[in-house]
Amino acid sequence: MVKAKSNDFLAHFRRRDPIMARAIERVGPFTLKPTRDRFAMLVRSIISQQISTSAARSILARVTTLMGDNGIQPLTLQKLSAEQLRAAGVSPQKIGYLKDLAEKVSSGAVRLDRIGRRADEQVIEELTQVKGIGRWTAQMFLIFSLGRPDVFPHDDLGVRAAIKRLYGLDEMPDKQTSLAIGSRWTPYSSVASWYCWRVLELDPKPKPTTAGQA
C-alpha cells in the first residue's frame, strides 16, 4: 500500500507525534495490502453499512454465491432480481444502492479501471455519484483499494474512539480536535488511521464499528 518503508513513517511519527509512534510500536508491522477487486470492495462497503461485521460477511457470502463462478461483477449484479437480493439479506434500500453502483460502472459514469489515475478528491467526487456512497466510503476505497497513503477519515467512529483513548481525551473528539491531531500524521494519515483501528482490536473495550457510515 504505502510505498515508504515502515522505518520511514515510524521516524516521522517519532518526530511529529510520539503518542502515535508508541501505538505503532505496540501494534507491530503495518500489514495492509490494497484490495485489487475495486467493484467487489464497493459492493462490500455498501452491504456493510449500519450492520455488524459478522452479518455483513454472511450477506456478502450469499450474494457472492448468487453471482456464481465469475464473482462479483457489475453485469452479473444487474441480472439479479430484487427478490433474490432480498432473500440473501440485502435491505431494499441497499438493493437500490447496489443496482445504482452496477449501472454507473457498466455505463462508464464511474470508471473503476481508470479511477486510480485521479487525485484523492477527484476519486471521492466520482464515487459519490453513486447512491449510498458518501465521503467515508470513498475514503475507505482510497485507503483499502487504491492504497493512498495520506487519507484521514476524521469522522470515522473507530478513528475517533482511538484518538480519544490514545490522547487521553475526556470526550470523543470533534472535527476540529481530530483535524488538529491528524495534521501531525501527514503524509502518512492512512497509516495512522489503520493503526487506530488496530489499537481498538488490541484493547477491546466497548468500541464503535466503522461500518455505519456512507
Outline where the chain has alpha helix (H). 6-16, 18-27, 38-48, 53-67, 74-79, 82-87, 92-107, 120-127, 135-144, 157-166, 175-182, 189-202
Q: By C-alpha distance, which of 35, 30, 4, 41 is closest to 149?
A: 4
Which residue shows C-alpha cell 493512498?
148
Catalytic site includes residue 113 = no
The answer to whether the beta carbons of residues 30 and 4 sit under 8 Å apart is: no
Distance separating alpha carbons of residues 55 and 53, to the nearest angstrom? 6
Pick the catalytic residue: 156, 170, 174, 203?
156
Give SS3 for 107. helix
Q: Active-site residue numbers?
A: 156
